[in-house]
Amino acid sequence: MPDVGAAGRDLTALPKAHLHLHLAGSMRPATLVELAGAQGRRLPGELLAPAGTRLDVTARRGWSRFQRLYDAAREVVAGPGEVRRLVGEIAQDERAAGSGWVEVQVDPSSYASRLGGLQPTVELVLDAMREAADTTGTGMALVIAANRTRHPGDAETLARVAKRFAGKGVVGFGLSNDETRGRPEEFAKAFRIARDAGLLSVPHAGELRGIRSVHGAVEALHADRLGHGVRAVEDPATMALLAERGVVLEVCPASNVALGVAGAVELVPVRELRAAGVRVALGADDPLLFRSGLVDQYAAVRDQQGLSDEALAALAADAVRGSAAPDDVRARLLSGIEAWLSSAPAGGSAS
């Protein structure tokens, strides 16, 4: 294993954009325990385990077990107070991790019954994001994600809601949940509504399903980014397509390993994708479930794959360029990444 981890620069100080993060999945473990206790809810033991979730979602029942754990965490987000607290804590945690920009995915239909409907849910999250961004200095934006296990008409309804908030804090439209159900092509109309409103197309694809789902997301949904997309590595022509279109893959190493998509961090194809010219942005996906934040993802590919600081800085820059951050934030983060790279490595040469 290359010995670059010891002498690398401080990864917390590397300016970052975090593009793949789900709202309830980003809750602090202590907050989950506190809220569940206050509400008299019993939590599944796996949610409380310090090691985090480990499931093989590529096996038949794995995904539904994962989804049940996620749903149990989401249950404690019972009202506006919890939403504001979660969003505020995400901003604090991301700021501590060196993120200057964060895009959080939310499926408003999972909260609508508790928060007064789809539109009030979006308004609440956006208001909480503005407040958290003002307090922490870390910019926040919302990706509205449709549930691919539901009817495509529901996704179209959500896309119309997203459209109403384009330019007002909603920056993208996603597609989440069990990838083995709901092919990308079925959601083409919803994504057309979102893209026509100027939103980024950011569906999950190429995680549980192979290159066909990647092609579906790229061709039918005109994806600007893919959630995961790692299985593109199975086909050079697919990687060439992603490279040619400039599609950014939101690669989440800890998630891939915890969910059995990759056997180990060494096998998450960051180097292969980059060698093929594909842009890669590291993400944490669900830090609550995997007990691994954004800095941990950079540290994992440094330690387990031997990525140099130059390569890590390139990943950070890909994330910034693939984000919806406003020009001033983008410029500040990119120049910060250059400054990080020209700073002296910790524990480096004494000459």
Kindly state the smallest distance separating residue 137's Cβ from Zn ion, in Å. Answer: 25
Q: Please, which residue, 8 or 227, has the CB nearer to Zn ion? A: 227
- Tokens linked to 140: 């926040």
What is each CA distance from 290 to 29, 62, 153, 258, 264, in whole angstroms?
11, 15, 32, 7, 14
Q: Integer distance in angstroms from the first to the last C-alpha of the chain? A: 26
Q: How far apart are CA 21 and CA 19, in angstroms?
A: 6
Q: How far apart are CA 182 and CA 209, in angstroms?
A: 11
Per annotation, catalytic residue among 82, 179, 207, 250: 207
Q: Please, which residue, 22 or 302, has the CB nearer to Zn ion? A: 22
Q: Please, which residue, 23 or 115, has the CB nearer to Zn ion? A: 23
Kindly state the smallest distance separating residue 339's Cβ from Zn ion, in Å. Answer: 31
Interacting residue ranges for Zn ion, rule: CB under 5 A: 227, 285
Nearest Cα residue to 301 out of 256, 244, 346, 334: 256
How many CB atoms lie under 10 A from the CB of residue 310?
8
How many CB atoms lie under 10 A from the CB of residue 61?
10
**What is 23-85 written as a DSSP string?**
TGGG--HHHHHHHHHHTTPPPPHHHH-TT-----TTSTTHHHHHHHHHHHHHHT--SHHHHHH
Q: Please, which residue, 123 or 285, has the CB nearer to Zn ion? A: 285
Kindly state the smallest distance separating residue 200's Cβ from Zn ion, in Å. Answer: 15
Is the separation of the CB atoms in 108 and 161 below 8 Å?
A: yes
Q: How far apart are CA 40 and CA 219, in angstroms?
A: 47
Kindly state the smallest distance separating residue 348's Cβ from Zn ion, in Å. Answer: 36
Q: Please, which residue, 107 or 303, has the CB nearer to Zn ion? A: 107
User: What are 326-330's contacts with CB under 8 Å, separation 24+?
Assistant: 326/139, 329/100, 329/101, 329/139, 330/101
Q: Mark whether 207 is an active-site residue.
A: yes
Give the CA count within 13 Å in the CB-facing half-sphere of 117. Answer: 5
- The strand pair at 279-282 and 99-106 is best described as unpaired
Kindly state the smallest distance separating residue 110's Cβ from Zn ion, in Å. Answer: 14
Q: Please, which residue, 285 or 309, has the CB nearer to Zn ion? A: 285
Q: Please, which residue, 205 or 307, has the CB nearer to Zn ion? A: 205
Kindly state the smallest distance separating residue 177's Cβ from Zn ion, in Å. Answer: 9
Q: Which residue is nearest to Zn ion, using beta carbons?
A: 285
Catalytic residues: 207
